[in-house]
Amino acid sequence: MPRKVRLRFAPSPTGGLHLGGVRTVLYNYLYARRHAGDFILRIEDTDQSRYVPGAEQYIFDSLAWCGLEPDEGPHVGGAYGPYRQSERKALGIYEKYARQLVDQGYAYYAFDTTEELEAMREKYKTAENPSPTYNFDLRRKMRNSLHLPADETQRLLAAGTPYTIRIRMEPNQEIRFTDMIRGEVVFSTDGVDDKVLLKADGMPTYHLAVVVDDHLMDISHAFRGEEWLPSAPVHILLWTHLFGIEKMPQWAHLPLILKPDGHGKLSKRDGDRLGFPVFAMNWTDPKTGETATGFRETGFLPQAFVNLLAMLGWNDGTGQELFTLEELIESFSMDRVHKGGAKFDYEKAKWFNHEWIKWLPASAFSELVRPYFHENPATETLAEAALAEPDEEQFEKVLDLVKERCHLLPDFVLQAGYFFKAPTTFDLDSIRPKWSEEKKVFFVGLIRQMESETTWEAAALEAQFKEMSAAKGIKPGDLLAPLRIMLVGAKFGPGVFDIASILGREETIRRIRHVLSIL
């Protein structure tokens, strides 16, 4: 029987979830769904010093916003819980395996203090080797159960001396594995240090925890960021010693998302510096109180956010760029994931959002747009009041009319705002140079005509307008611009008669009168 496909996303609750993190979630999620498997969320909170309150909830909320919700996790439960490593530690899960490794001779006790380790690095640092590691060579000079007399080790243990458990890396061995993206990857154990497996506080490090939990949770595929590639040999050895290499999940190390300018991984600071979001949602650091803006609050549609992330490192080979989540699930495959990192391009990101706004009916996002209009100041007239609190149908009609002009949700405020609140500033400079008494007379006549108009449809309004301008011998174009500025305040927006028809008779006349009075 083929193995059940099970993937996990395993973040540390240390802060906001950024682009790269969400993309890792997405690829795990897509692969799981593509193969009718399970998608699990596991919280790796083994570093108590870096734990940030609220970060875990933030992760749940971000996944929910993106529509990438796990089948199992701390907040939804599941058959493989608990899903927080701090809780699993309390159950003694990790310690048991760490002891087993010591008993088997694959790991050992190390009693070195932080100060001693620092001293060691300082002492053995040279120009050729700026960062000496605790490895097969240097461990001989340290205080551990491999090189201390047996009775001394016993004495230290009995005395309750704090210790860590380190993996014992034997030199000169080749470790290889097949990465789903990179193919065969080979390491020599010479370059790998004796990683700490169990910390002095009893918590496992990532290295031990990831192997133990992936096994216990029956994970079949593990996709993570490329920054983990160098520690893969440790994980492979652990799998070999503990559970058997044949049970190891298939690994894939995802390319990094890079800064748009310069070089390096995209970080939270780049967003502020370059003026675009890097987090899924707004994230306020509880310690500093600083808020980093999110894609959600910037006005991205979750569908667009997921879509653009998917394309950052993957494509289906056909040239298609716009995908729904369902389509992504349908066509996603790991062998089309890139090896090289991708620089994030905010302009392209906005293009994705624009495409999604154009593509979706306004009913799909009107609830997301409404809040942006709520800081509308008090209205002055009855007609305006009615516009300020439009019914859903009217509101969506307006959004559909202007959506092709909007890249981000807040753009609707400018593009649709004049429908609900009369403009307060007018581009009169575009009218005045060509303004004349004759035109004024025309508009006065237009108002009179409008007052007696029986229908209020765009087409009829336009026909009537042209008829009148012809009668006066004025080119319609010379009258259209002023009319637009009267209704909108500036030169943008859909057809003027579409606007007038939505504004309604009373409001349209009111706006024409107003501008006439200040001209």
397 closest CA partner among 373, 361, 427, 426: 361
- Residue selected from 358, 432, 440, 448 as contacting RNA according to rule CB under 7 A: 358
Q: Which two tokens stand for residue 116?
A: 């001693």
Q: Which stretch binds RNA (CB under 7 A): 54-62, 194-202, 243-251, 503-511?
A: 194-202
Query: Rule CB under 7 A: which of 477-496 touch RNA?
Result: 477-478, 480-481, 484, 491-495
Helices (H), 77-198: 85-90, 93-104, 114-124, 150-158
Interaction between residue 134 and RNA (CB under 7 A): yes
Query: Rule CB under 7 A: which of 413-472 touch RNA?
Result: none
162 closest CA partner among 198, 126, 204: 198
Q: Which two tokens stand for residue 511?
A: 């706006």
- Minimum CB distance to RNA, residue 87 (Å): 15
The secondary element (H helix, E strand) that includes residue 371 is helix 366-373
Q: Which stretch binds RNA (CB under 7 A): 95-103, 202-210, 369-377, 448-456?
A: 202-210
Amino acid identity at 179: D
Give CA–CA dist 195/3, Å, rounded.
31
By CB neighbour count within 10 A (0-12 exposed, 13-18 middle, 19+ buried), where does 364 fall?
middle
Amino acid identity at 133: T
- Residue selected from 60, 80, 124, 228 as contacting RNA according to rule CB under 7 A: 228
Interaction between residue 340 and RNA (CB under 7 A): yes
Interaction between residue 313 and RNA (CB under 7 A): yes
Q: Given the complex with RNA, which of 154 and 178 has the nearer CB atom?
A: 178
Count of residues that interact with RNA, criterion CB under 7 A: 84
- Minimum CB distance to RNA, residue 52 (Å): 12
Q: Which two tokens stand for residue 230?
A: 């160098």
Q: Given the complex with RNA, which of 162 and 244 has the nearer CB atom?
A: 162
Catalytic option among 89, 268, 350, 403: 268
Give CA–CA dist 412/50, Å, rounded.
40
Query: Rule CB under 7 A: which of 316-335 touch RNA?
Result: 317, 319, 321
Q: Which stretch binds RNA (CB under 7 A): 252-260, 280-288, 363-371, 387-395?
A: 252-260
Query: Rule CB under 7 A: which of 259-288 touch RNA?
Result: 260, 262-265
Q: Is 403 a catalytic residue?
A: no
Q: Which stretch binds RNA (CB under 7 A): 65-73, 195-203, 442-450, 500-508?
A: 195-203
Interaction between residue 72 and RNA (CB under 7 A): no
Interaction between residue 127 and RNA (CB under 7 A): yes
Interaction between residue 342 and RNA (CB under 7 A): yes
Interaction between residue 343 and RNA (CB under 7 A): yes
Cα separations in angstroms, 501 against 138, 345, 379, 413: 82, 40, 20, 20
Q: Tell the residue number behind the tokens 């973040």, with chain if given.
A: 11
The secondary element (H helix, E strand) that includes residue 342 is strand 342-343
Q: Given the complex with RNA, which of 3 and 155 has the nearer CB atom?
A: 155
Q: Which stretch binds RNA (CB under 7 A): 151-159, 257-265, 390-398, 502-510?
A: 257-265
Helices (H), 243-361: 268-274, 295-298, 302-310, 325-331, 346-359
Would you please indicate which residues are annotated as catalytic (active-site) residues?
A: 268
